[in-house]
Amino acid sequence: MKKNVVVAVTGASGALYAKLLVEQLCALRGQVGEVAVVFSDSGRDVFRYELGGNADALLAAPPVKVYDSSSFYAPFASGSSAFGSMVVAPCSMGTLARIAAGSADSLICRAADVMLKERRRLALLVREAPYSLIHLRNMAAVTEAGGIICPASPSFYSSPQTIEELAMTVVHRVVSLAGFEVKSFRWGEEQ
């Protein structure tokens, strides 16, 4: 059975992660139903700035459907929806703080709140360095509530040759955390 997934894009740097994540989810047609994409107010600006003029083309074709960040009529704003997982990529520290506090002031935070209260998969691809004590406490709060903190820390085991290959080491990890099977490098396997 195909599963629906929410991808939230915030204003943190790292739009490449969001782009590659959406592309990877779209490639998993046998597993993925709808890929619901929602941008924070600054998320779309950063997405376009970092990815250039072709950024919006990625969002134009099914199974991708873009939702307005102020609309609470999106299906995944309700616990009765058929969305089983959500990834915030990249996740700003402001968004992390609002999710940790249980604030539902935007569609992104409301959807994250739904994932936590319904005990569904929520992965936050955090993008900040270094972390302050406040960041760490917010990460602990989200983890204690059932979310997964996945720092945007690439791995080098697979000997990536390009920036995209390096970023894909993180994307493959977060796709797996969201509950999808993806063919990627595994430690101890032949390359």
> Has residue 191 got a pLDDT over 80?
no
* pLDDT in the model for residue 56: 77
Q: Which of 61, 54, 77 is nearest to 8 (CA)?
A: 77
CATH topology (fold) of 3-177: Rossmann fold (3.40.50)
- CA distances to 62, 67, 124, 190 from 177, rounded to whole Å, are 23, 23, 10, 23
Burial class (CB in 10 A: 0-12, 13-18, 19+), 146: middle
Average pLDDT, the chain: 93
How does residue 36 score in pLDDT terms, banded at 50, 70 and 90? very high
Contact call for residues 168 and 141 (beta carbons, < 8 A):
no
> Has residue 185 got a pLDDT over 70?
no
pLDDT digits (tens, 9 = 90+) for 112-168: 999 999 999 999 999 999 999 999 999 999 999 999 999 999 989 888 899 999 999
pLDDT digits (tens, 9 = 90+) for 54-68: 777 878 878 999 999
How much of the chain, in percent, has pLDDT values that exceed 70? 96
Q: Give domain limits for the chain.
A: 3-177
Judged by DSSP in three states, 73 sits in coil
Assign residue 71 a region: left if phi > 0, alpha if psi is -120 to 50, beta otherwise? beta
* pLDDT in the model for residue 12: 96
Distance of CA 122 to the CA centre of its chain: 8
Strands (E), 62-168: 64-67, 83-91, 121-126, 148-149
* pLDDT in the model for residue 115: 98
- As a whole number, mean pLDDT of residues 84-89 equals 98
DSSP code of residue 83: E
The pTM is what? 0.94
The structure tokens listed for 148 are: 């997964």
